[in-house]
């Protein structure tokens, strides 16, 4: 659905994006991850047709962004980083304006505005001037603007910055509810956001691609150790030494009312662990694999330990 090939953007001598390539499949949510000034916003601006690239190719739904920008713009919804709003307009007139310039036919405009207001939960502020509504509502108005023409593609630049935790969750749910129907790229530096909303991730740093894959594959390929978390009916911290005695067990710890046990990839010790539990009649309540933490993954990728 979205394909970026060898994209490069220079501002004078500064290379904001260098030889960036990635692919996003239809109906998926992908996160664009990277530290500040990594080139996330520039990449998004190129995809939306706001900035021309210096080199390379970008296709959105089979339309070339540089050859057919108008076709791309028709099917793309874009929420820039600092939500652009007209403070002197009311919420509904703002949305009505965008329904007009996004080529929604006159007869369907009213319906589109009403539907968008409903989806984004703006009913209570629709008649108010944008300058007088709260930050959370402003963010929703921005998102509503991106959604109004029911675009196939949504490009959201840091959609949750500056919101309080409850608002973050609401916006995330709103984004998640669009999953499947739309292909979404969102940029963020909140790592939890990626694990909670995204199917895959593109990690960039200093304009270069560091990694790009689905979340499971990425974590799997960067994990050197595997581990499990177990919870037992009998016993607490004192049982740590019991598991430490297993040959190959590493980093055994007692956390969150359970045990974390790791081992080097390939040397599975799960059989030994179950044996100990059964032999000592400890009563297994819960057992699950420990996935590698997205924070660890991110830091690892950014610090350059990558050859992808």
Instruction: Give the one residue of 18, 42, 59, 145 binding another protein; rule: CB under 8 A.
Output: 145
Q: What angle (nearest 5°) sits at the alpha carbon of residue 267, between those of residues 264 and 270?
A: 105
Q: Which is nearer to another protein, 51 or 210 (CB)?
A: 51
Q: Which is nearer to another protein, 144 or 201 (CB)?
A: 144
Instruction: Give the one residue of 28, 40, 102, 182 binding another protein; rule: CB under 8 A.
Output: 102
DSSP 293: P
Q: Which is nearer to another protein, 49 or 200 (CB)?
A: 49
The span from the CA of 64 to the CA of 71, in Å, is 9
Q: What angle (nearest 5°) sits at the alpha carbon of residue 205, between those of residues 202 and 207?
A: 95
Instruction: Give the one residue of 88, 164, 286, 296 binding another protein; rule: CB under 8 A.
Output: 88
How many residues make contact with another protein (CB under 8 A)?
A: 28
Min dist. Cβ of residue 232 to another protein (A): 55
Q: Which is nearer to another protein, 83 or 209 (CB)?
A: 83
Phi, psi of 216 (to 5 degrees): -65, -45
Min dist. Cβ of residue 74 to another protein (A): 5
80 makes contact with another protein (CB under 8 A): yes
Min dist. Cβ of residue 7 to another protein (A): 16
Q: Which is nearer to another protein, 52 or 283 (CB)?
A: 52
Q: Which is nearer to another protein, 78 or 259 (CB)?
A: 78
User: Which among 17-25, 32-40, 74-82, 248-256 is the span making contact with another protein, rule CB under 8 A?
Assistant: 74-82
What is the gyration radius of the CA atoms in the chain, in angstroms? 24
Q: What angle (nearest 5°) sits at the alpha carbon of residue 13, between those of residues 10 and 15?
A: 40
Q: Do 92 and 126 form a contact (C-beta atoms < 8 A)?
A: yes
Q: Do 74 and 29 form a contact (C-beta atoms < 8 A)?
A: no
162 makes contact with another protein (CB under 8 A): no
Q: Do 251 and 260 form a contact (C-beta atoms < 8 A)?
A: yes
89 makes contact with another protein (CB under 8 A): yes
Residue 206, phi-psi category: left (phi > 0), alpha (psi -120 to 50), beta (remainder)? left
- Report helix, strand or coil for 109: helix
100 makes contact with another protein (CB under 8 A): yes
76 makes contact with another protein (CB under 8 A): yes
Instruction: Tally the residues of the chain.
Output: 308
Phi, psi of 300 (to 5 degrees): -65, -45
45 makes contact with another protein (CB under 8 A): yes
User: Which among 27-35, 92-100, 252-260, 265-273 is the span making contact with another protein, rule CB under 8 A?
Assistant: 92-100
Strands 200-205 and 183-188: unpaired
Q: Which is nearer to another protein, 97 or 254 (CB)?
A: 97
Residue 149, phi-psi category: left (phi > 0), alpha (psi -120 to 50), beta (remainder)? alpha
Q: Which is nearer to another protein, 40 or 45 (CB)?
A: 45
Binding site for another protein (CB under 8 A): 11, 45, 48-52, 70, 73-74, 76, 78, 80, 82, 84-89, 93, 97-98, 100-103, 145
């Amino acid at each position: 659905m979205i394909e970026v090939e060898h994209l490069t953007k220079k501002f004078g001598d500064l290379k904001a994006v260098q030889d960036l390539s990635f692919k996003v499949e239809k109906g998926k949510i992908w996160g664009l991850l990277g530290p500040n000034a990594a080139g996330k916003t520039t990449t998004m601006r190129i995809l939306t047709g706001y900035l021309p690239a210096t080199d390379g190719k970008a296709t959105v739904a089979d339309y070339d962004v540089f050859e057919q920008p108008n076709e791309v713009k028709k099917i793309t919804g874009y929420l820039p980083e600092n939500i652009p709003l007209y403070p002197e307009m009311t919420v509904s007139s703002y949305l009505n304006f965008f329904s007009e310039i996004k080529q929604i036919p006159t007869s369907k405009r009213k319906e589109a505005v009403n539907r968008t207001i409903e989806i984004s939960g703006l009913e209570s502020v629709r008649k108010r001037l944008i300058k007088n509504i709260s930050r959370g509502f402003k963010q929703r108005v921005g998102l509503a603007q991106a959604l109004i023409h029911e675009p196939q593609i949504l490009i959201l630049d840091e959609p949750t910055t500056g919101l309080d935790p409850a608002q973050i969750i609401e916006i995330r749910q709103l984004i998640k509810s669009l999953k499947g129907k739309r292909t979404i790229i969102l940029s963020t530096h909140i790592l939890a956001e990626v694990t909670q909303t995204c199917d895959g991730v593109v990690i960039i740093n200093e304009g270069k691609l560091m990694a790009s894959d689905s979340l499971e594959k990425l974590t799997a390929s960067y994990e050197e150790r595997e581990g499990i978390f177990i919870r037992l009916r009998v016993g607490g911290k004192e049982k740590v030494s019991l598991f430490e005695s297993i040959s190959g067990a590493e980093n055994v710890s007692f956390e969150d009312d359970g045990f974390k046990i790791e081992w080097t990839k390939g040397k599975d010790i799960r059989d030994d662990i179950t044996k100990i539990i059964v032999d000592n009649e400890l009563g297994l309540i819960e057992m699950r694999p420990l996935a590698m933490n997205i924070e660890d993954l991110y830091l690892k990728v950014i610090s350059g330990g990558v050859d992808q």
